[in-house]
Amino acid sequence: MDEILTTVQEDIHYRFRQVKLLELALAHSSWANERGCPNESNERLEFLGDAVLELCVSQEVYGRYPDADEGLLTKVRSRLVKTGTLAEVARTLGLDRSLCLGRGEETQGGRGRESLLADSLEALFGAVFLDGGFAAARELVLRLLGPRFPETASSPPAKDHKSRLQELTQDLFRDRPQYVLAESSGPEHSKVFAVAVHLPDGQSFRAEGGSLKKAEQSAAALALAALRPRSGA
């Protein structure tokens, strides 16, 4: 567990004074319930982090788009804080691998569940807020979500990760990425798909999702993050 805690702190570039808060942020209710400690889950932190996230993003869009009316600001904020966006960020950070899940949730594909991943990211924001205050939480929120802010409030949503990755690999390697279904698991009503994306330079990235499309998008997001230094972005 100590290694996981260290890795998460390195990945978010924040060192906790109270590491117990980070442990709590990574504890899903299924894990806490199995151990007979239902109050030691991340649900309360998720509640707090949801409010912290909303305030941070609201403040940023208000200042970033001075000519936008309330309707446009609301649309931008909604795109940034929606479950799918937060789940993608959580996967990029590797939170899907760091969470403590109960056996039942684990076998049912909980690590690929978007709502669970989004909640865990909000819990992390809540933990940073309690540990370091609003400024620390805001810095983390904007660093993770900053690249997803549109140029203007009326700009269309950014291109999906697969489209962006294909354009980037064409520019860098004059070739396209290849997606391969590695495995699928779980019951029919709640399958989790694992997809690997292979880049022309030999690198491979793997991610999971509740559908093949979502898994491919998540794998593409990981590849984009790895290629960003070479792209100059």
Helices (H) and strands (E) in the chain, counts: 12, 3
Among 60, 88, 105, 122, the one annotated catalytic: 122
**Cα(149)–Cα(48) distance, rounded to whole angstroms?**
23
Among 50, 96, 131, 216, the one annotated catalytic: 50
Backbone phi, psi, residue 204, to 5°: -135, 145
Give the type of residue at 192: V
Asked about 122 being catalytic, the answer comes back as yes
Name the DSSP class of 34: H
Which are the contacts of 12, defined by CB distance < 8 A and separation ≥ 6? 93, 124, 128, 140, 144
Q: Rg of the Cα trace of the chain?
A: 18
Partners of 207 in beta bridges: 195
**Cα(96)–Cα(211) distance, rounded to whole angstroms?**
16
User: If DSSP codes are grouped into helix, strand and coil, which group holds residue 203?
Assistant: coil
How far does Cα 178 stand from its chain's mean position? 23
**CA atoms in the 13 A half-sphere facing the CB of 41:** 20
**Cα(129)–Cα(132) distance, rounded to whole angstroms?**
5
Asked about 50 being catalytic, the answer comes back as yes
So which residues are the catalytic ones? 50, 122
